[in-house]
Structure 1
């Protein structure tokens, strides 16, 4: 298992963007659930790009 840190990749958003189909699917599912739970936009945006990720 490898851990990627956002600061090593050049930023939070860039660390998660890699045109990965599974990631895009997960984001769509997250957006659907976040809407159902009425999560605020700012919190929602922060949750989309975590500081760390497991690969």
Structure 2
């Protein structure tokens, strides 16, 4: 794995944690918070690849 890929995946992971945590703290169930975190992390990878690439 290249350094570029590692940075993008790490940033996507952090974004997913933040979104999932904020979703959970807003009072939504755990399952929807996990889903929101996964979707934001997955959706963030192409955007981060374009921005950092």
Bigger relative CO (Cα 8 Å, ≥ 6 apart): 1
Same fold (TM over 0.5): no
TM-score (norm 2): 0.44
- Higher strand residue share: 1
More helix by share: 2
